[in-house]
Structure 1
Amino acid sequence: DMDSVSVKNIVNNSNWKLNDIMLATPMVFKFLVDDTMKYDPYNINPQTIVMDEFDLLFTNQGMSDAMLQILRKFGGGRDKLFKEFNNNRQFLLSGSTLPEYIQGTKSEEFLNSCFKNLNTIQTSNFGKC
């Protein structure tokens, strides 16, 4: 499959430590994380991770697993290898709603387990913030 060959070339031929910003879908980001963990687990260390349409990605069965892997690896203190880095990492999650449950756990509970000092911003005027 040509798409996976192209992504694999990007993953294998990039020094991710030199990147200031990376924009990727959850599936590509998951592939990148899975592949680099085999060779150099510290090669991907984004300071900030932005997840737009967070609510839709978590309710989409195809994307949900990739999103969970990203949160488990880079959020809070769950991943022992990255715990020190993760405590200083920032996540920006944007969505118009919050799913009631994530992985069978109330969403607020789940997010509090992933992130230290979680702050939320809610607005009644969803289109403007």
Structure 2
Amino acid sequence: MKKPTKAKLRRRAEEHEQLAKDIRKQYLTGELDIKRTESGLGYVIHQAGEGIAPKLGQKVEVHYVGILADKASVFDQSFGNIKGARFKLGAGEVIPGWDEGIALLRWGDEATLIIPSKLGYGPKGRGQGIPPNSELIFYVEIAAVG
């Protein structure tokens, strides 16, 4: 399998950043059919995958774009990289909203996670990119399970 060029990765990142901004607009105008968990996490599955669901303790790889709900400001994304974020599900290696939200998905799913501050970075925020008490929107694609 041939590695994608830097230009191709850059285009892929730009396309997915625009997609995340479009999803944010749909969220703000009430156009998304959001399901909510008891914790307040919101999620929408845009495209269902055909793969397995990850189990707690299993490694997953996720491509993502993170955007602030109150601004059209992308604070992080992985689509410009060959590999996505890799972590052990449920091990606390990521924010609680990711552990909870990714557990609802399966390999191949394309989804949006709407993460309230308490399941994100809370009152501390994260550096200059994520202010305190920010609601976060992540467009995610489950790239690998196991």
- Tell me if TM exceeds 0.5: no
Q: For the pair shown, which has the larger CA radius of gyration, 1 or 2? A: 1
Q: TM-score, normalized by length of structure 2?
A: 0.26
Task: Report the structure, 1 or 2, having the larger strand content.
Answer: 2
> Larger relative contact order (C-alpha < 8 A, sep ≥ 6)?
2
Task: Report the structure, 1 or 2, having the larger helix content.
Answer: 1
